[in-house]
Amino acid sequence: MTRTFVAPATLDEALAAMAAGARPVAGGTDLVVGARQGKAPLPDGLLAIHRIDELRGLAETESGGLRLGALATHEDIVANATVREWFSALADASAIVGSHATRAQGTIGGNVMNGSPAMDAGGPLLCFDGSVILRSASRARTVAIADLWTGPGSTSANADELLISVELPAPAPGTGSCYVRLEYRRQMEIAVVGATAVVTLDGGTVADARIAITALAPTIRRIEAAEGALVGSDGGPDAIEAAARATAEASTPISDVRGSAEYRLAMAVVIARRAIAGAIARARGEHIPIPASPALHGAP
């Protein structure tokens, strides 16, 4: 058994290693933990990408959007003022991923490419119309987040493609967003049920709504019926309740050690309701602390 480990400083060298079969590692919070748990052995060829400048950075773009380099950690994301103000749901999510150590170590690139249906940051990236830049030795392409996740742990990226960055367009004025997760404890938690809402208000009316579910289907996905129940409404309790119920109806949860399908479905309504209410409140300029989950669950 021969194992290789390379840690190049340039993107070209990294893409060449990918072409030769190496697999990237950054924070290692999925790869290493998974290998220790016996989920999948470590790949024989490991490509450490932490030295590559093109993969760094977390900044507002000229058009008011956001570019997150693959190596941006959850800590970086939570600390970023643009994210907190304009992409609050993403800050909500990154603030509660794993533990302090996970957030300091884990990167958005690895998080996205791991393809977990329980990924906290996934719903926000999807609802903000995110896309990813993928590069291989031979080409570069942009893939919408909506087209990236194909099943639990699988993506539409080719094996030799490396995620360079995640790009988010500027949200419309009057937009508020919120990510809420059911939490059994306050740290080192994984989503059992999660919901994202991105709501744009125009006057007193909901002009646009994006609602996504986490850990309630094989992939994180948007729920059009729920969005439809909100758009055009006043964003009041009845509309929120209708959207929350539509969210649950479109969910297809499984039963596992973290909860039964029946419980998850019941929680889908509760969590979606809290996320939507949080997004609307933020769109109205009300203050909800980041992360929203403990605040909305009534923590002291």
Query: Judged by CB under 8 A, does residue 263 bind other proteins?
Result: yes
Give me the DSSP letters along 235-285: --HHHHHHHHHHHHHT-----BTTB-HHHHHHHHHHHHHHHHHHHHHHHTT
- Which parts of the chain fold into alpha helices (H)? 11-19, 31-37, 74-79, 81-86, 88-94, 100-105, 108-114, 122-127, 145-148, 224-230, 237-249, 261-283, 292-296
Q: Does 270 bind other proteins (CB under 8 A)?
A: yes
Which backbone phi and psi does 18 adopt, to 5 degrees?
-60, -45
Show Cβ contacts of residue 10 under 8 Å, excluding neighbours closer than 6 positions. Answer: 52
- CB of 263 vs other proteins, minimal distance in Å: 5
Which one of the spans 15-23, 31-39, 128-136, 149-157 is the region binding other proteins (CB under 8 A)?
A: 31-39
Residue number, 35 or 242, with CB nearest to other proteins: 35
Is residue 188 part of the contact set for other proteins (CB under 8 A)? yes
Q: Quick one: 8 or 294, whose CB is closer to other proteins?
A: 294
267 binds other proteins (CB under 8 A): yes
Q: What are the residues facing 213 on neighbouring strands?
A: 195, 221
Residue 245 touches other proteins, criterion: CB under 8 A: no
258 binds other proteins (CB under 8 A): yes
Contact between 92 and other proteins per CB under 8 A: no
The only residue of 32, 64, 158, 186 in contact with other proteins, by rule CB under 8 A: 186
**208 with 170: CB under 8 angstroms?**
no
Piece in contact with other proteins (CB under 8 A), picked from 119-127, 161-169, 187-195, 241-249: 187-195
Q: How far is the CB of 259 from other proteins (least distance, A)?
A: 5
Q: Which range binds other proteins by CB under 8 A, 18-26, 30-38, 42-50, 57-65?
A: 30-38
Q: Is 93 helix (H, G, I), strand (E, B) or coil?
A: helix
CA angle, 28 then 11 then 22, to 5°: 50
Quick check: 299 binds other proteins (CB under 8 A)? yes
Residue 271 · residue 195 · CB < 8 Å: yes
Residue 40 or 188: the one with the smaller Cβ distance to other proteins is 188
Q: Does 185 bind other proteins (CB under 8 A)?
A: yes
182 binds other proteins (CB under 8 A): yes
Q: Decide: helix, strand or coil at residue 73.
A: strand
Q: Which stretches of the chain bind other proteins, using CB under 8 A?
A: 1, 36-38, 99, 182-188, 190, 257-260, 263, 266-267, 270-271, 297-300
